[in-house]
Amino acid sequence: MRSRCLIFIFNLITLSLHAQNNVGVGTLTPNANAALDVEANDKGILIPRLDAAQRAAMTGSLTATERGLLVFDPTDILFYYWDGITWISFPSTGASDADWYDIITNDVTPDISADIYTLGNVGIGNSSPVSSLQVTGVTTSDNYDIIDSDGGYVRAMQGGTTGIPAPNFHFHLLPDYNAQAGATEIKMHYGFNSDVNDHSFYSKNSGANVEIFRIDDSGNTFLLGDFRPNDLPGNAGQVLQSQGANASPLWVDIADNSATNELLISAVLNGTNLELTDGGGTVIANVNSLLDNTDDQNIDS
């Protein structure tokens, strides 16, 4: 008889739950709009805790029917919900590297040195990168800036009209690109079609571009300005002499080593004798035999 009473009471409770269509925990009057209404002033709700491996194990059995399935990852310290295709974390950032995600599982990558970065491709602005780093802007642009922590720029700029192949490519190294007076710029102008046939380097100061070096399509090299090996300009009449491997060349005076091309120190006419002095000594030539108004004459020493 006692067993029958228990069964009867259980059936009444079950019928009541089905009829009410919601459950209250900590309350006798659960909200009519909630299937489950939990009230407490000293307790919370523990959502099922699954890490990345456990979520991956579930993925094969999940479909669009389970959209909204909620779990908590104790490693990432993030909630995840199933969107019908993959697990989506929220909020978007957590205690670890929550700004980097695995492209397949959409899980937060615990370390940016993981294989997805060292062995795969990284995409910024696209989900199917085809190179080690592929950046795709939301809008078409011909400028790409990389800014360091001090605000300095490294800029790669495709010249010409956006969306149209241009005749040159500019690469800028900008120590100070904030439009300030005196900002220095190094620009490489690289031509690759019939309109531009050289490779040029420019220096920019206070808004003015000055060409400093160029190689044309024939391989000729042009250096505009002083040539200063070891920051030494040399003197007029000097030549540049090699100092051997792994040594900077030096400016030297022209050597007086040729008997037919000597540098005179002095020339003195003493009567009919012409005294010529160079690094090898003094030579006296008698000019007494020379005739007036006559070309192609020889003198003997």
Q: What is the pLDDT of residues 208-256, one digit of tens each?
A: 777 788 887 788 888 887 888 888 888 887 888 888 888 888 888 876 6
- CA 284, CA 265: separation in Å to the nearest integer? 14
Q: If pLDDT is split at 50, 70 and 90, which confidence band does 176 have? A: very low
Per-residue confidence (pLDDT) for residue 96, from 0 to 100 = 43
Q: If pLDDT is split at 50, 70 and 90, which confidence band does 108 have? A: low
Per-residue confidence (pLDDT) for residue 50, from 0 to 100 = 95
- Alpha helix (H) residue ranges in 87-242: 115-118
Per-residue confidence (pLDDT) for residue 98, from 0 to 100 = 43
- CA 238, CA 53: separation in Å to the nearest integer? 75
Q: Tokens 């009230």 — which residue?
A: 39
Q: How many CB atoms lie within 10 A of CB 94?
A: 17
Q: How many CB atoms lie within 10 A of CB 185?
A: 20
More confident residue, 218 or 56: 56
Per residue in 65-88, pLDDT (tens digit) is 999 999 999 998 899 999 999 999
Q: If pLDDT is split at 50, 70 and 90, which confidence band does 198 have? A: low
10-14, 79-83, 121-125, 137-141: range with lowest mean pLDDT: 10-14
Note the maximum CA span of the chain. Answer: 162
Torsion over CA: 156, 161, 166, 168 (sign): negative
Count of helix runs (H) and strand runs (E) in the chain = 3, 19
Per-residue confidence (pLDDT) for residue 263, from 0 to 100 = 63
